[in-house]
Structure 1
Amino acid sequence: MTNAPAPSPSSTPIAVVVAGALGRMGAEVVQAVIGAPDCRLVAAIDTTAGKEGADVGLELGLGELEVAITGDFEGALCQASQAVRNDGPGGGAVLVDFTHPSVVYEHTRAAIAYGVHPVIGTTGLSPQQLQDLAAFAEKASMGGAVIPNFSVGMVLLQQAAAAAARFYDFAELTELHHNRKADAPSGTCIKTAELMEELGKAFNPQQVEEHETLAGVRGGQRESGLRLHSIRLPGLVAHQEVMFGAPGESYTLRHDTIDRSAYMPGVLLTVRKVRQLQGLVYGLERLL
């Protein structure tokens, strides 16, 4: 798969801050950034106990990178902002955030305030929070991106689901993730449902008076009638299935992430494009 065109050798490498640098996704991002000739890692943020000041490269088995782990989020943003103050138009540092839903709103807002372009992979932002951040980014004239899923394959599934929704009135979505994922349903699953709902139609018209003998067994129901189901098990990475039904047939779309490296082309593509954006975008499909 081809990423964005490589920059000219004289271009200044993109300064990248990684938040959640010792996590499973953060570690992949650090490795991708140091392997990209047009990027440079300028800060690694993580709050893991006992890791303050340690070299992030040594901690991740990547060799010494001379970038110390810090738990000071705003301090790292300030440092990154100062590091690129002479980069000129279209410049600026980029924050890649894979942390936790409880802090992602504050992290995104702080990045915009410090003039660091946010690339947010952490899910859990509410529609109202997204609206607030979009307005804040517009006011600050800052480009940013909230990407529920960086997989190009998932974007293709979502587009196929939106197309199929025109022809099917019955559909349910199931997302499956590892059991350390904090939010449910996943942001990717919600985004898929939103794309299907852009038609403005109702799904799953009631055929019978249902009764759950176990609360929640039929999943969560959105206003459109779409039902979303979440599964959390060790051994899983990230998987999603959209099943459509009609008399005499079913149509199933499925995407499986086998390894987190699948997300890195999308992460790097977003890092390369976010500084040219005029505001906050939601979804990788907006950048492809």
Structure 2
Amino acid sequence: MSKIKVAVSGANGKMGQEVLKMVINDPELELVAAIDLKMDAIDVGLVLGMDTVGINFENNIEQSLMRCHADVLIDFTNPQAVHHNIKTAIQYGVYPVVGTTGLQLEEIKEFDRLLKERELGGIFAPNFAIGAILMMRFAEQAAKYMPHVEIIELHHDQKIDAPSGTALKTAEMIKAQRKSIKQGLENEYEKIPGSRGGEYDGFRIHSVRLPGFVAHQEVIFGSQGQVLSIKHDSIHRESFMPGVNLAVKKVKDFVGAIYGLENLID
């Protein structure tokens, strides 16, 4: 069985480095390109603290994909770069697996159209941690019976977007399971603007950004005489790698865009 050839964009970021280690250590995968705008001509292994692996960092995605004939591009960059990276991957017939957050549903629909035109599949996941996927699914189920809810998400202070993609995906899943409810008092007001968080379909989403966090989310449901709290914590970025690995190995099985890793698990 031939190996899946993998290119990684955003390869020298914190998530990117974890992805590189995962690909290098999986005998079913072959790293063929490590793309990062701030790196060039340095062996990946030297940056990761291991022996040389024979793959140097590159800073031009077009040249990299043209050269390496990758099957899959894993992208953990930023909202400014990801559109170009995905379209470039599709142009070269490469299946995108995207963990970069900040994409809107309308944009994913556009990528779905482009992927179908080329008969490619693509996976766009706000969160690749299996535990986080279960947290979202449990919240989706709870919303059928306890529609009053708020979401609190906590991330490191280098995260550029708020709320997180995971929080937005959770909110969308909750919305699909309950009637829209305007929560809180009619005459509620904020002494400090924004202190009640952002509003989505009548409920609130709160974002915390502090050093020390990785990725954390709590979904709190309130009902008469009871409170249900569903919480997930990623304490290290390696928690996302089993999900990324699963996506890489599944993405060629379908055509079009898949939004959310929960679509790949039972």
**Into which bin does the TM-score normalised by the smaller protein fall?**
over 0.9
Q: Deviations over 1:212-234 (max 9, x none)?
A: 12111111101x21211100000
AA of the residue aligned to 1:249: Q
Indicate conservation of the 8 Å contact 1:22/1:60, yes or no.
no
- Alpha-carbon distance between aligned partners in 2 of 1:166 and 1:100, rounded to the nearest angstrom: 34
Matches within 5 A, 1:240-279: 240-279=217-256
- Tell me which residue corresponds to 1:211: 189
Calculate the TM-score normalised by the size of structure 2. 0.97
Q: Which residue number corresponds to residue 8 of structure 1?
A: none
> How many angstroms apart in 1 are the aligned matches of 2:239 and 2:202?
32
Note the aligned Cα RMSD (angstroms): 1.1
Which digits, 9 at most, give the CA deviation of each residue in 1:199-252, with x for residues without a partner?
251134343311112111111101x21211100000000000000111221110
Q: Is 1:235 equivalent to 2:212 in the alignment? A: yes
**Structure 1 residues 58-91: Cα deviation after superposition (integer angstroms, max 9, x where no partner):** 111121011111110111111232xxxxxxxxxx
Q: Does the residue aligned with 2:103 lie in a helix, a strand or coil?
A: coil
In structure 2, the partner of 1:160 is 138
Q: Deviations over 1:255-281 (max 9, x none)?
A: 000111111111111100111111110
Other-structure match for 2:27: 37
Amino acid at match of 1:21: A
**The one of 123, 134, 146 aligned to 1:145:** 123
Is the CA contact 2:154–2:207 (under 8 Å) kept in the aligned structure 1? Answer: yes
Partner of 2:10: 20
Distance (Å, rounded) in 2 between the aligned partners of 1:159 and 1:203: 20
| 8 A Cα contact 2:183 2:203, kept in partner | no
Alignment map for 1:1-288 (pairs within 5 Å): 11-48=1-38, 51-81=39-69, 93-222=71-200, 224-288=201-265
| Identity within the alignment, % | 43
Structure 1 residues not aligned, in runs of 5+: 1-10, 82-91
Decide whether the 8 Å contact of 1:28 with 1:260 is kept in 2. Answer: yes
Equivalent residues of 1:143, 1:276 under 8 A apart: yes
C-alpha distance after superposition, 1:141-169 (max 9, x if no partner): 11110011011111111111011101113
Distance between the aligned counterparts of 1:243 and 1:280, measured in 2? 30
CA–CA separation in structure 2 for the residues paired with 1:206 and 1:141: 47
Q: Distance in 1 between matches of 2:152 and 2:12?
A: 29
Q: Distance in 2 between matches of 1:116 and 1:137?
A: 10
Indicate the SS of the match to 2:159: coil
User: Matches of 1:133 and 1:115 in 2, distance apart?
Assistant: 13
Give the secondary structure class of the aligned counterpart of 1:155: helix
Normalising by structure 1, we get a TM-score of 0.89
Aligned-partner Cα distance in 1 for 2:18–2:183: 43
Distance, in Å, in 2 between the alignment partners of 1:63 and 1:20 is 21
